[in-house]
Structure 1
Amino acid sequence: MTPLILAANDTGAGTGGWVVLAVLAAAGYLIHCVIWPYRPCRKCGGAGRFRSPSGRAWRYCNRCNGKGAQLRAGRRIWTHIKGINRDR
């Protein structure tokens, strides 16, 4: 058989590549969360505050408590995993 026909008949060879790609993406996100644990707040856009309706005063964001940043979900998972290892 020619190589093109063999490649067309092979149906199960591509599934392992997707698994490896998913594992690499998850590891990359975990490393990203370890280096940069905070993300900008979605509500205030990372500013931590809003202008009042009159435009003269500021009020703090309720979601991030005026910090402008929130902890990433991956960092929460990382901290939980580290806490499990410490309990032993």
Structure 2
Amino acid sequence: MNPDLLIASAVTIPALFITIRYVAKCCIQPFGTCRKCQGKRHLPKRIGRGTHECRRCKGTGLRLRWGRHLFNFTRRLHSDGTR
């Protein structure tokens, strides 16, 4: 077997597997936990006591995944272009 082909397949096959797995995750579970509040929905105030809603997720604790953003954008672009 050619060493160049072996190296190329050793890099390509895991990358393809990871990509397919991420696409499946975006389709099955489009929302992930918010990175700022870690899904807790509230953040502590800087001064004093108490908490306030997370501005990034608007208090839901969830965010739309990057891959799902891309999918929604391309779907919207296609539907707007074919009307």
Identify which of 5, 17, 21 aligns with 1:13.
5
In the alignment, structure 2 segments of 5+ residues that lack a partner are: none
The TM-score normalised by the length of structure 2 is: 0.76
Identify which of 23, 32, 39 aligns with 1:46.
39
Alignment of 1:71-82 (within 5 A): 71-82=64-75
Moved over 4 A (4+): none
Deviation at 1:64, TM superposition (A): 1.2
Corresponding letter in the other structure for 1:47: K
Confirm or deny: 8 A CA contact 1:30 1:78 kept in the other structure.
no
Greater C-alpha Rg: 1
The residue that corresponds to 1:84 in the other structure is 77
The root-mean-square deviation of aligned C-alpha atoms, in Å, is 1.9
In the alignment, structure 1 segments of 5+ residues that lack a partner are: 1-6
Q: What is the aligned length?
A: 79
- Percentage of matched positions with identical amino acids: 25
Identify which of 43, 56, 60 aligns with 1:63.
56
